[in-house]
Amino acid sequence: MEIYDSYLNEDFERNSNVSATESKVMEEFFSRVDNYEGEYMVSGRFTNAELGNISNGLALQCAVEFTQNFVDYDLLKDEIKEELLISSKKKNLKREKLKRRNLKKKRSKKHKSKKKNSEK
């Protein structure tokens, strides 16, 4: 319930007799969590026991990666969704700026080396 109250959308798509734990939003969210956890274990070649062991930090890393890579914004509350969308746009802009900057550096290095070669 804490997860639902904090992050998940309130659209239960239900009648009033259905609890939040039985909602389609909660089912969908946790099915995506389970799928991601499975993918994470396969990619890292972890076992259930290793992922469940608190001391090695794998579960925390899995949770961090899941929240960073979460793209199903329709399951989230509007204010959380907006914050995530804004931060992901900022990250994309930073990546583009870095790419452009690196491309300019490469071009200037090529230009300088061509100049040196032509002077010799």
pLDDT, one tens digit per residue, over 77-108 is: 887 778 777 777 777 777 777 778 887 777 77
Phi, psi of 45 (to 5 degrees): 55, 50
* Same-domain check for residues 65 and 24: yes
Q: What token pair was written down for 107?
A: 């071009």
The DSSP code for 21 is: G
pLDDT of residue 49: 87
* Same-domain check for residues 64 and 98: no
* Same-domain check for residues 69 and 110: no
pLDDT tens, residue by residue, 33-64 = 888 988 888 888 888 888 888 788 888 888 88
CA 78 – CA 76 distance, rounded (Å): 6
* Same-domain check for residues 64 and 97: no
pLDDT of residue 68: 79
Total domains in the chain come to 2
* Same-domain check for residues 12 and 41: yes
* Same-domain check for residues 46 and 66: yes
Q: What token pair was written down for 40?
A: 């994470």
Q: Which of 85, 66, 74, 82 is closest to 24 using CA atoms?
A: 74
CA 10 – CA 24 distance, rounded (Å): 10
* Same-domain check for residues 89 and 114: yes
Q: pTM for this one? A: 0.56
* Same-domain check for residues 59 and 32: yes
